[in-house]
Amino acid sequence: MLWPLEADGRGFDTHTQLGMDPCGWPAAHGIPCPTCGCTTAATHVVHGSLVQAFVTQPFGATIAIVGLLLGLHAALCLVRGRSFVDLVVRIHFARWVVGGVLLLLLSWGYKYLTFDV
């Protein structure tokens, strides 16, 4: 879905190419929203620009990479006739949630410091 998109040079609002409205948070509050730039970062990941993805939004880049790896793992499970659930039950869910929330907050702070409308 992200392959045909072109990452917005501003580092946010790439999602408008999917027919969505621009994010109203920056206009209303003057700061980026917590997930500002995630679609742009994911678009960079899909196009192979990993460094630019992390520079744009570290949380979005991480989520995109994890999503691609999980998709690859699911495909391998399908080919090998194994259960995808085996991976899920081995994951320490609470640690991943806490780590994800911390990464989101740190990335939001980073985006706030580097945000330029």
* Cβ atoms of 18 and 47 closer than 8 Å: no
Asked if the model's pLDDT at residue 16 lies above 80, the reply is yes
Q: Quickly state the pLDDT bin for 27 (edges 50, 70, 90).
A: confident
- The tens digit of pLDDT for each residue in 30-62 reads 899 999 899 999 999 999 999 999 999 999 999
The confidence band for 117, taking pLDDT boundaries of 50, 70 and 90, is low
* pLDDT in the model for residue 5: 81
Angle between helices 58-80 and 38-46 (to 10 degrees): 50
DSSP count for the chain of H helices, then E strands: 6, 0
